[in-house]
């Protein structure tokens, strides 16, 4: 579900967020239109709008865990967690967390990857959201959901700054709602 279809239609913050995202053609390979959120982070107003919209959505949902997917979910997740009074749980690539971890492998378009989380980071019954910058196929979000649910957390929703209107991977999210702020930009208007 897009924010503009859920009460924010015409909200100028969404346009400001979209305008702040730089499009880098053919990165990291030919044919990819990379959605670079570093320019969003440089625009303090657009960055604040991004966090504020997520906070407005989640503040009254009794969320106790905000799980951020490495690495860009780390840029938004902690601010959201602080604002709604939840803990932040980093979901990292392999061998980045010290101590005992639990892992969840997932399929990518061209291979496999894995997310890890500290054992004991979440408890059974905790209500969680998963935050990332972009959703395309849903593979990473699906792995994040499975990882949290293995410890008994209840994943309420996944939130992404950018998402394709026809997210092919939404079926992979096991019925979990997906909240997206803006669609990918096609050209760099900066």
Q: Which of 72, 92, 157, 172 is catalytic?
A: 72
The catalytically annotated residue of 109, 112, 165, 186 is 109
Residue 172 annotated among the catalytic residues of the structure:
no
186 is an active site residue: no
Residues 53 and 44: their CA atoms lie apart, in Å, by: 14
The label of the residue with tokens 């079926």 reads: 171
User: Which string of DSSP letters, residue by residue, matches 108-177?
Assistant: ETTEEEEEEEETTSS-TT-EEEEEEEEESSSHHHHHHHHHHHHTT-EEEEEEEEEE-TT-GGGGGGTT--
Alpha-carbon distances, residue 168 vs 15, 37, 133, 138 (angstroms): 24, 22, 17, 7
Q: Give me the active site residues, please.
A: 72, 109
């Amino acid at each position: 579900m897009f924010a503009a279809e859920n009460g924010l239609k015409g909200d100028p913050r969404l346009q400001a967020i979209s305008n702040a995202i730089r499009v880098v053609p053919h990165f990291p390979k030919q044919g990819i239109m990379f959605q670079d959120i570093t320019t969003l982070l440089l625009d303090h107003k657009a960055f604040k709008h991004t966090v504020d919209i997520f906070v407005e959505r989640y503040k009254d949902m009794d969320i106790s865990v905000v799980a951020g997917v490495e690495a860009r979910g780390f840029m938004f997740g902690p601010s959201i967690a602080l604002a709604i009074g939840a803990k932040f749980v980093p979901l990292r690539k392999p061998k980045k967390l010290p101590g005992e971890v639990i892992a969840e492998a997932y399929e990518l378009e061209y291979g496999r990857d894995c997310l890890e989380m500290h054992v004991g980071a979440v408890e059974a019954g905790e209500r969680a959201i998963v935050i990332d910058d972009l959703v395309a196929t849903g593979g990473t979000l699906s792995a994040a959901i499975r990882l949290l649910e293995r410890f008994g957390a209840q994943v309420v929703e996944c939130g992404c700054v950018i998402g394709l209107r026809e997210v092919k991977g939404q079926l992979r999210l096991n019925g979990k709602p997906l909240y997206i702020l803006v669609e990918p930009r096609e050209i760099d208007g900066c």
